[in-house]
Amino acid sequence: MPKKLLLLPPLSVSSTFRALRACPAARPAMNAARTGYRVFSANSTAACTELAKRITERLGAELGKSVVYQETNGETRVEIKESVRGQDIFIIQTIPRDVNTAVMELLIMAYALKTACARNIIGVIPYFPYSKQSKMRKRGSIVCKLLASMLAKAGLTHIITMDLHQKEIQGFFSFPVDNLRASPFLLQYIQEEIPNYRNAVIVAKSPDAAKRAQSYAERLRLGLAVIHGEAQCAELDMDDGRHSPPMVKNATVHPGLELPLMMAKEKPPITVVGDVGGRIAIIVDDIIDDVESFVAAAEILKERGAYKIYVMATHGILSAEAPRLIEESSIDEVVVTNTVPHEVQKLQCPKIKTVDISLILSEAIRRIHNGESMAYLFRNITVDD
């Protein structure tokens, strides 16, 4: 008779992690085969792998072995140097200035892992690119939805991101999206690093940012101010394509059709709604890219009597001449997280400070792999946050 095979019960991942947390000295590298997951970086440059290294250090892991590079003709090539069969794979991709190259690196690595028989492929994309192109503009396109479709086609099954520019972007995806928040880290920075923060007022540089500013003000028990006027150019004021075909002079109108004419907008002179005199002004937003609007807001706040001005945001893209403009402005300090690499900008402008958010990203990775609830990471988070 053939011998019967003795099947051993599978090792419980949750119980293993509990034991490891109880005894950190016995914690093995998380990339060991028995743990069932790998962590890769989709970018090979030192600035972009910094966040990935911080995350893997917190997990007690090592970065997966891979090579990502550009051919002489500009094509992106990705080579996976170890087995990923049946594993949960987490791809960490921070977005440098060359956005399109970073997107191609992510897509090609995801597809390479898919063809290598990875079980799940989870993209850890702290700053989601093209998130500002999530609405129809004139005869443009909703590029953010296109990117979501491309990521799904490449093989991604889940995404971890942070502070999407528009929360509705989650609806573009056909798989789960965890939109984490950086506000707890920024609130902690205000409480611990800004002297006399109780004398501060939270400022929205435009009415569109008022909800975010209100959330900060209510949590810190501080006052709120909103800047409104001609200097602001809100996204909602732009044409969204519903005026097609374009209006033409002497256009033929169907007899008997008289549609009401929409009155043109006329913004009032720039004003500050709220008292900032003799106070610390803290401007909050989700993205700092072109800083002209922040510099203009700082000048207005100085004129209204604010004696110190901070700017806080999740994503510090700081493109073009942003470091120089900040250094020459009335802004005293710009605080951003490390969702986007900005070490070069910090060398150009000492006013730029960084808050590390690798803790929440590493915890999200651990919980997703273990099948644990993500609710702990969204404690006290409301719809407006």
Task: Give the pLDDT confidence of 92-119 residue by residue, as tens digits.
Answer: 999 887 899 999 999 999 999 999 999 9
Span 2-31, average pLDDT: 44
Q: What mean pLDDT value characterizes the chain?
A: 86
Do 184-231+269-355 and 38-180 fall under one CATH topology? yes
39-58 pLDDT tens trace = 999 987 787 899 999 999 99
Span 172-181, average pLDDT: 96
The reported pLDDT for the residue numbered 260 is 84
Using DSSP's 3-state secondary structure scheme, residue 383 falls into: coil
The reported pLDDT for the residue numbered 249 is 53
What's the CATH number for 38-180?
A: 3.40.50.2020
Q: Residue 103 burial (CB < 10 Å; 0-12/13-18/19+)?
A: buried
**Nearest by Cα to 227 from 247, 242, 212, 208:** 208
C-alpha 15/C-alpha 20 separation (Å) is: 9
Whole-model pTM over 0.85? no
**Nearest by Cα to 335 from 358, 362, 307, 314:** 314
Domain boundaries, the chain: 38-180, 184-231+269-355
Fold of 184-231+269-355: Rossmann fold (3.40.50)
pLDDT band (50, 70, 90) for residue 365 = very high
Q: CB within 8 A of 254, min separation 6: which ones?
A: none
